[in-house]
Amino acid sequence: MVIRVQAKRAIFKPAPYDTRRGSRGLPGWLILFLIGILLGGGGVLFLQASYGEKRLSLAETQKLTEELKNLTVEKQTLQTKVDESQKVLDAEISVRDTKIKELTSSLSTAESLIGPLREQLNLFAQTLPFDPRYGPIGVSTSLFTQGKNSTKLSYLVWLLQENAQKPEFKGWLELSFEGRYANGRVETITLPRIAVKLNHFLHVTGTTDLPAGFTATRANAKVIAEDGKRQVTWRVLPVQVK
């Protein structure tokens, strides 16, 4: 009996690491990946060109650089002026502070002198005579002097209240001068009223100009109440011509 063995056909099984495979094109997934990169890059460039910040040209860049340089110079100039102004201000403040110190020192000195003088004045006022016949406010003493051949007349009037404990008096002092001109014409010249306020005493002093050629012979001193109507005191006093 004869047994026949038929040879089996060889079946091709490529080895996983066989390098002898035939050459083929790029894989599809790689092509898609590259296309995606290209599309993405193009989209980014499109967005930047359409909505992104615009890039300056060379001329615009040079212009901005020049403007920045000018602004820097202007800032430095302004800063220099500010520094100079600050120095001037500091110097003026220093001078002002020095003057304030000097004036404060002078004021302190004056106050130290005024105190004793005020006390002496109070003592002097206590020695002034008061005549109750002329009212509650008296013209204690006075001095009226006109320069010879001059229109200037100076006056000093002491007003005195009998009791220093009485309420403060407020009113007006009215001065008028009787006299004559060189041609013999007689006239009375009245000065504007002077506001007065006193507790115990008050001295009123000043200078006035009389008309040319007028020589005063006597003065009328009237003390009028605050309402400007009621007369409180009236005195007739001589005028000295020197």
Question: Band of the pLDDT at 163, cuts 50, 70, 90?
Answer: confident
Q: What digits encode the pLDDT tens for the residues 136-145?
A: 788 888 899 9
State residue 95's pLDDT score. Answer: 87
Q: Higher pLDDT residue, 236 or 44?
A: 236
CA gap 152, 210 in Å, rounded: 6
Q: Which pLDDT tens digit goes with each residue over 183-198?
A: 999 999 999 999 999 8
Q: Residue 212: which pLDDT band, with cuts at 50, 70 and 90?
A: very high
Q: Region 185-214: what's the mean pLDDT?
A: 92
CA–CA dist 77, 22 (Å, integer): 80
Rounded to 5°, the CA angle 191-125-145 comes to 35
Higher pLDDT, 201 or 46: 201
Each residue of 36-89: pLDDT tens digit? 787 777 776 666 666 656 666 777 778 888 888 888 888 888 888 888 888 888
- Contact, 224 vs 172, CB < 8 A? yes
